[in-house]
Structures are given as structure tokens and as C-alpha cells.
């Protein structure tokens, strides 16, 4: 397993539409393991492959509490097939937008279809934090960031802040 650098705003790759995974093979499993290690190290509760510059539809999530053993879950080609009318609000952050948090309202529960680590089709009814994280990560696969769900004023402000920071560093594409 290996830690992979996480790309951050304003890296244009974050806006790419990721490609569907066609084959669940050894290389993909290695990538899953690297992503899980990178997510745990960060630490974060979710990571989409595009955040380590791999534009494929692969997501890892671990919403286990600190006092619980790690419980990483892998979602390949995840898609939302149902979402509740009921909505909930969480304060969200993103490993690609470090140290910025904002409240985002989303459907409170969703049903998602995906392939598991073994390539089997599964469905999950996600509620609470898992529902939010899964929607946040599926957004990444379509080039959508959580700041797209907040006001334009706030979004422009945070984008400008990261553009300035990137200019200062000269290369804002990696968190080291
Ligand atoms: Ni994110």
C-alpha cells in the first residue's frame, strides 16, 4: 500500500467527469488499498479517485467513529437510484479544499447501486452521515464539489482564496 498525494482546489482535474470502471482487477484493488490508506492518513471519511488524480468512478468511505475499529467501504461505479424528499444538513469539508467547512443540505437518505470490491452488484440504503458522504463522493465523480451547493458569494470567496494560495506556492496541485 502507498500514500498518494491529494490534489486540491483550484486543480482543474477536480472538475473532470470520471470514467466508468470496466474491470475489477488487481490494479484496481491496489488503487482501492492506496485510497483507503490515503483517506485514513489524511484523515478523512471519504475519498474519490479523482482526488488522487485518477479519473475513474471509484470511491472509498469510512464513517466509523474514532472509538470504533476502522470500517472502510469501497464503492465502484456508484449511482444514486433513489433519494428521500426529507433533507438534512451537515457541515461538510473536503480533503481537496482543506480547512474550509460549510453547511450543505442534501437528501437525508439515498439508495445507491454500485459494485463491491469483488465486482458484485450491490445496493445500499444509506442514511445519516453515510448518505451525506456518499452523495459528496459521487458528486466528485461528476466534477462537482460541495462548495457548488453553497451560495455563489461564499463559493467565489473560497475559490479566490485557494487561487491566491496556489499562486504563492507556485504549484498548488499537491498537499505535501
Ligand atoms: Ni471531497
Written as tens digits, the pLDDT of the chain (176 aa) is 799 999 999 999 999 999 999 999 999 999 999 999 999 999 999 999 999 999 999 999 999 998 999 999 999 999 999 999 999 999 999 999 999 999 999 999 999 999 999 999 999 999 999 999 999 999 999 999 999 999 999 999 999 999 999 988 765 455 55
Q: Catalytic one among 19, 22, 103, 137?
A: 137
CA distances to 78, 109, 163 from 87, rounded to whole Å, are 20, 8, 32
99 flagged as catalytic: no
Rg over alpha carbons for the chain, rounded to the nearest Å, is 16
- Whether the full predicted model's pTM is greater than 0.85, yes or no, is yes
Dist. CA 44 → ligand 1 center (Å): 9
* 15 CA to centre of ligand 1 in angstroms: 12
Correct CATH for 12-170 of 3.40.190.10, 3.90.45.10, 3.20.20.140, 3.40.50.360: 3.90.45.10
| Residue listed under C-alpha cell 490534489 | 7
CA–centroid distance, 94 to ligand 1, in Å, is: 4
Structural domain boundaries in the chain = 12-170
Is the preceding peptide bond at 51 cis, omega within 30 degrees of 0? no
Amino acid at each position: 500500500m502507498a500514500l498518494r498525494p491529494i490534489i486540491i482546489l483550484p486543480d482543474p482535474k477536480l472538475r473532470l467527469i470520471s470514467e466508468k470502471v470496466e474491470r475489477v482487477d488487481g490494479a484496481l484493488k491496489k488503487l482501492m488499498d492506496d485510497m483507503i490508506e490515503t483517506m485514513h492518513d489524511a484523515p478523512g471519511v471519504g475519498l474519490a479517485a479523482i482526488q488522487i488524480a485518477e479519473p475513474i468512478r471509484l470511491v472509498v468511505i469510512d464513517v466509523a467513529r474514532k472509538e470504533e475499529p476502522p470500517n472502510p467501504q469501497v464503492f465502484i461505479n456508484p449511482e444514486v437510484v433513489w433519494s428521500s424528499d426529507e433533507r438534512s444538513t451537515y457541515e461538510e469539508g473536503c480533503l481537496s479544499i482543506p480547512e474550509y467547512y460549510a453547511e450543505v443540505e442534501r437528501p437525508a437518505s439515498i439508495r445507491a447501486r454500485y459494485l463491491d470490491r469483488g465486482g458484485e452488484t450491490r445496493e445500499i440504503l444509506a442514511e445519516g452521515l453515510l448518505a451525506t458522504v456518499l452523495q459528496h463522493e459521487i458528486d466528485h465523480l461528476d466534477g462537482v464539489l460541495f462548495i457548488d451547493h453553497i451560495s455563489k458569494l461564499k463559493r467565489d470567496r473560497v475559490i479566490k482564496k485557494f487561487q491566491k494560495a496556489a499562486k504563492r506556492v507556485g504549484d498548488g496541485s499537491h498537499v505535501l
